[in-house]
Structure 1
Amino acid sequence: MVKESFNDKQSLIDALKECGAVRFGDFTLASGKKSSYYVDIKKASTDPLTLKKIAREATTLIRDMHVDSVGGVVLGSVPLATAVSLESGLPLVLIRKSDKSYGTGGRFVGDVREGSKIVLLEDVTTSGGSVKDAIEAIRAEGAIVEAVVTVVDRESGASENLASMDVKLVPLVRASELVSSPQ
């Protein structure tokens, strides 16, 4: 298996910037914190070339994890998890924020079985709070989550918060690499 090289990471950084996913200025994040940059992965996930690059990079990492499926929390991670599912050939699991009360109901779209190993995809992680609930829901069904692959880790506590749940955060790009890389 080919490990990630600097050129792969730099190519992803360049693609994120070229598609307009990285913007500099004064921003207020969902957490309420202020930031001098904003990462809008929705821009990347709606750009076919950038989405394909993300899927390839994530798939390279996921292959070494020996998982049964890839998952994403509705709605932000759906394009990422779908692209990785297509690239890797692994089944897809979508996790709703709460149970659906109509139709077939439930919290999951796709198979979440006892003992199955699921890796979650995230767009941008700050504290890891949004994915923690999904991990708890999956574990409540007896499935296993040991890792979350994120496109961009803002390096604001997500790694430590997920580690407290025995989950490893695996970033494709760290914010420090993204903002220090030449424009």
Structure 2
Amino acid sequence: MTRGASISQSLKQEIMTGIYQNGMLLTSKRDQPEGWTLVSGLWSPFYIQLRLIGSFPRVLRLAAEAMSLLIEERAPHVNRLVGIAFAGVPIATAVSLDSGLPACHTRKLAGVRTEGDLSETLSAYGQHSLVEGQLEDGDRLCLVDDLVTGMDSKLVARSQVLKEVERRGLTNVRCDDIVVLVDRQQGARERAGKEGLRLHSVIDFVDEGLPLLEDSMGQEEYALLMQYLESPESFQNR
């Protein structure tokens, strides 16, 4: 995988337009007037659901191309991908086909949301594999997922991978890179840095993603989302 190119704005534009037009970015103006209450408890006038991306092969192919370029540019040392179950699995497979990098994936562990939950679950998990696929001594792994908001699910996945590395008796394996299609820009990059990890995103939603959709959205719809992103606290207590 050596193409020597960066991700173009036109490629990002195609990806974001595909996400919006195919209902992977929902808004209260177009899709659900009551909006959404996020896991954090905050109300939001938009919702990103990239788990559907496998249903839209063209968008998935474009995403894979962009993520392959991103890995080549920002993390050329990576030699193996690890898709985070469930949304990251088809994406990691697509990136693998585009880049030639081999891929494996984490297993979904019921009820595990934090590293503390993971520790409790592993004590009763037995000898079932935590990662499906081949891992080798000296691997430089990159976690692959659709979206990042906070970092909890990524930290859990990394801990899960490193535990599996330990179980298999492998040595000199690093898992310090994470690549996502969209970063909601809600503090994940800063948290990753504090953990000594490198978070790479194709599209930063606030700075790039939404502005790329200005011509695709209705004027009121676009203005609402921009106002929310500038001051989400003013939209609460609805």
TM-score (norm 2): 0.70
Q: Aligned pair 1:132/2:155, yes or no?
A: yes
Q: What displacement does 1:72 show?
A: 1.1
Q: What displacement does 1:101 show?
A: 5.6
Q: Aligned pair 1:74/2:85, yes or no?
A: yes
User: How many equivalent pairs are there?
Assistant: 182
Unaligned runs of 5+ in 1: none
Moved more, 137-146 or 82-91: 137-146
Task: State the match for 2:190 in structure 1.
Answer: 160
CA distance in 2, matches of 1:3, 1:179: 20
Q: What displacement does 1:160 show?
A: 1.2
Task: State the match for 1:122 in structure 2.
Answer: 145
CA distance in 2, matches of 1:30, 1:152: 18
CA distance in 1, matches of 2:87, 2:8: 27
CA distance in 2, matches of 1:31, 1:89: 37
Q: Aligned pair 1:96/2:107, yes or no?
A: yes
TM-score (norm 1): 0.89
Q: Aligned pair 1:2/2:5, yes or no?
A: yes
Moved more, 27-36 or 16-25: 27-36
Q: What displacement does 1:3 show?
A: 1.0
Q: Aligned pair 1:147/2:184, yes or no?
A: no
Q: What displacement does 1:92 show?
A: 1.0
The answer (yes or no) to whether the contact 1:20–1:44 under 8 Å persists in 2 is: no
Unaligned runs of 5+ in 2: 29-34, 110-121, 166-170, 217-238
Q: Which has the higher contact order (CA 8 A, sep 6+)?
A: 2
Q: What displacement does 1:14 show?
A: 1.3
Q: Aligned pair 1:85/2:96, yes or no?
A: yes
The answer (yes or no) to whether the contact 1:97–1:134 under 8 Å persists in 2 is: no
More helix by share: 2
Q: Which has the larger radius of gyration?
A: 2
CA distance in 1, matches of 2:61, 2:41: 31
1:76-108, Cα deviation, whole Å (9 max, x unpaired): 211111111111111111112446968x82101
The answer (yes or no) to whether the contact 1:74–1:96 under 8 Å persists in 2 is: yes
Moved more, 68-77 or 51-60: 68-77
Task: State the match for 1:40 in structure 2.
Answer: 49
Q: What displacement does 1:32 show?
A: 3.1
1:20-79, Cα deviation, whole Å (9 max, x unpaired): 111112112233332221111022232000000000000111123231111111112111
Q: What displacement does 1:165 show?
A: 1.7
Task: State the match for 1:16 in structure 2.
Answer: 19
Q: Aligned pair 1:169/2:199, yes or no?
A: yes
Query: What is the letter of the counterpart of residue 52 of structure 1?
Result: R
Give the CA RMSD over aligned residues: 2.0
